[in-house]
Amino acid sequence: MKRSKTYLVWVLILVACFATWIMLKSARTNKTVGIQPLGSFPQVQIDSIQSAIQTQYGYQVVVLPKRELPENCFVQIKSPRYRADKLLKYLKSIRPDSIDFMLGLTATDISTTKKDKLGRIKQPKSKYEDWGIFGLGYRPGSACVVSSYRLSKPNKTIERLQKVVVHELGHNLGLKHCTSKLNCVMDDAAETIRTVDAGHITLCDKCKNVLD
């Protein structure tokens, strides 16, 4: 009799552990990403990005009604651009409560200031103070922004967009640049589109384990 009670306690503990694991797992996969088109953005590209997020992260994706690019993010230092850091602030300010991560999509050029490890503007300053980028997402964060401006190439644009979106969302989720040398989607693009083209759209096992 005593033995069967002990057995029952162990079964209950196991069931409780399993239920907790399921709950934690679904808490992670029940996240919602809100795609926010900023200005005109082709529907076919939005659809492909939506499916890439669902495939790579298993998150729900909601496409929000288009908004115009906010004028206070505009700069003309080297050429007409929108500052990515300011766009992130804007995206956070309009994030509905039901959305965990905001993804801004624009066809216009976006830029940021490139800094070194000590937080100083990289030299030469004239080159790096307003540096055109593919996308930006802080680690961790609740918003990222991706521009198709520097990704456009016949038959390549959509794949590049998907990879850059998965990369920037990865930063929001807490992932650093990957050093596994496996062409992981979290590899540092290191200022060139070649890294994006050579890389996979998937996270390597090491990066996946960080998220699990």
Interface ranges with Zn ion (CB under 5 A): 178, 180, 184, 186, 204, 207
Q: Closest Cα to residue 105, out of 194, 166, 45?
A: 45
Rounded CA separation 82/109 (Å): 6
Give the phi and the psi of residue 10 in degrees, each rounded to 5: -65, -40
Partnered with residue 106 across adjacent β-strands are 147
CB under 8 Å to 150, separation ≥6 — which residues?
A: 109, 132, 133, 134, 193
Burial class (CB in 10 A: 0-12, 13-18, 19+), 112: buried
Amino acid at 77: I
Rounded CA separation 13/30 (Å): 25
Q: Which is nearer to Zn ion, 94 or 204 (CB)?
A: 204
Q: Tell me if 198 sits within 8 A of 183, measured CB to CB.
A: yes
Least distance (Å) between residue 95 CB and Zn ion: 21
Residue 211 Cα distances to 14, 144, 174, angstroms = 24, 18, 8
Rounded CA separation 184/199 (Å): 6
* SS3 category, 37: strand
